[in-house]
Amino acid sequence: MARLIGGIGSSHIPAIGNAIEKNAQSEPYWKPFFDGYKPVWKWLEKKKPDVAILVYNDHGLNFFLDKMPTFAMGAAPEYQNADEGWGLKPIDPIPGHPKMSWHLIDALVEDEFDLTICQEMLVDHGFTVPVSLMWPEPELRKHIKVIPLCVNVVQSPFPTARRCLKLGKAIGRAVASYEENLDVVILGTGGLSHQLDGARAGFINRDFDLEFLDKLKDEPEWLLQYSNYELAELTGTQGVEMIMWLIMRGALGKNVTEISRNYHIPISNTAAGVILFEKDA
């Protein structure tokens, strides 16, 4: 049977990809950020998961405002990316796991989650930056297969935090019912607090971010008290991306151990965080 062995919450800012490409990880601006990923790299090297479910949001490369599904899951043999205008050099195609994708899709639809199913799917920096962050060297990515789950946090109405937590729990059940013997990690990406435009451009709410990280392990329901409109007020218009971390957390179930955590501000006018959970046996 497949096993969810852990989950990672991570930022996916495009500037991170530029820093990786320029080998700027040791520069004073970037070092506190990348140092926070050292325990994650060590854990991934030790555990060597077979499959990563990557929860992210598309920024106009595959979906645009005229067609914006609430939840879309990839079922392709590989996922390609393209130049989005951020100066990011496209990375090599990332292999998928169509068989497991279809199992997850079938199980989630049976669980009354209506997914958009993508047998071809372009992926943008929301996907490629976490892949490059978790497996910095292309050689490290050869063993991992990735299943993308795209969530609409771009155009209202967004799914609620409650819906995302429920989806995560359904993903956890679906992974556990997959018959092949695989180790699976789930990544919830985006956020934390940030606003990229308007009168509050550059807004960051450090206190809210830190409380969110404090609550995520044992009280993920803490975020459910806020509507998405309230989250936009508290964390900035793009800070609502943190609801995708709830999908990761919901998938892991109750018994998890926090292995590491880092919070750093600002990275490209954004509060950047990473947290690593290991699922208890």
pLDDT tens string 193-238: 999 888 888 899 999 999 999 999 999 999 999 999 999 999 999 9
Beta strands in the chain (DSSP E): 3-10, 51-56, 71-74, 78-79, 94-95, 116-118, 145-151, 183-189, 256-267, 270-279
Tell me if residue 125 is catalytic.
yes
pLDDT at 190 over 80: yes
pLDDT at 84 over 80: no
Superfamily of domain 3-199+209-256 in CATH is LigB-like (3.40.830.10)
pLDDT at residue 136 above 90? Answer: no
pLDDT band for 271, please (50, 70, 90 cuts).
very high
Q: Where are the domains of the chain?
A: 3-199+209-256
Look up tokens 């930056």; give the residue: 129
- Of the candidates 94, 95, 56, which has an alpha carbon nearest to the alpha carbon of residue 73? 56
Q: Is the peptide bond before 266 cis (omega within 30 degrees of 0)?
A: yes
* 3-state SS class at 229: helix
Asked whether the whole model's pTM tops 0.85, one would answer: yes
Is pLDDT of 172 > 80? yes
Catalytic, out of 12, 97, 103, 194: 194
Active-site residue identified among 12, 97, 125, 264: 125
Q: In the predicted model, what is the mean pLDDT of residues 57-61?
A: 88
Grade residue 141 by pLDDT with cuts at 50, 70 and 90: confident
Is 97 one of the catalytic residues?
no
